[in-house]
Amino acid sequence: MGKLREVSLALSALLAAFFLRVFPALADEKITPFGIKGDTAQAAEQLASKVKDVVNLVAGFAGVVLFAVLVFAGYKFMTSADNPNEHARSKSILLGALGGALLIFTAWLLTQAIIGKLSASAGG
């Protein structure tokens, strides 16, 4: 029960840091509810910029979580010794984390490419 509490406290701290980073930017008095000002081309560019910022923030948060999971899986792998069940579990966690990292990176790359094309076509 103590281990679960420590993990939940760590995740709560990460979420708090995430929201403290996001919400002050949204609370700025110069930003309209949707953050869009000016003509259509400027609005599309501003929206694309905001979406890019959010995607980069989420990707950074995912990177921090990935690092923590990789450290945890590596620790479990190194300390599994002769226990084949723990060895297999840690290997499964490690492979799942790497698969998740690949999925997140692919999603980030596609989002950046799509937003780049949309903002270029809206601006030109």
Same domain, 41 and 92: yes
| DSSP one-letter string for 2-45 | HHHHHHHHHHHHHHHHHHHHHHHHHT-TTS-TT---SSHHHHHH
- 16 and 49: one domain? no
Same domain, 52 and 107: yes
| Whether 63 and 111 share a structural domain | yes
Report the predicted TM-score, pTM, of the whole model to 2 decimal places. 0.59
Per DSSP, the residues of 46-66 read: HHHHHHHHHHHHHHHHHHHHH
Please say if the pLDDT value at position 68 is more than 90.
Answer: yes
| One domain, residues 61 and 76 | yes
- In this structure, are 49 and 67 located in the same domain? yes
Q: Tell whether the model's pLDDT for residue 122 goes beyond 70.
A: no
Report the domain count for the chain: 2
Q: How far apart are CA 122 and CA 124, in angstroms?
A: 6
Q: Same domain, yes or no, for 25 and 47?
A: no
26 and 74 both lie in a single domain: no
What local confidence, expressed as pLDDT, does residue 102 receive?
A: 92
CB contact at 8 A, 104 and 66: yes
Query: Which residues form the domain of 19?
Result: 1-31
Same domain, 84 and 104: yes
Whether the predicted pLDDT of 82 surpasses 90: no
Whether residue 9 sits in one domain with residue 47: no
pLDDT tens per residue across span 12-67: 777 666 666 655 555 444 444 455 555 566 777 777 788 888 888 888 899 899 99
Residues 49, 15, single domain; the answer is no
Q: Is the dihedral of CA 24, 30, 32, 34 positive or negative?
A: negative
CA nearest neighbour of 78 among 66, 90, 96: 90
**Contact 54/117 with Cβ under 8 angstroms?**
no
Do both 5 and 53 map to the same domain? Answer: no
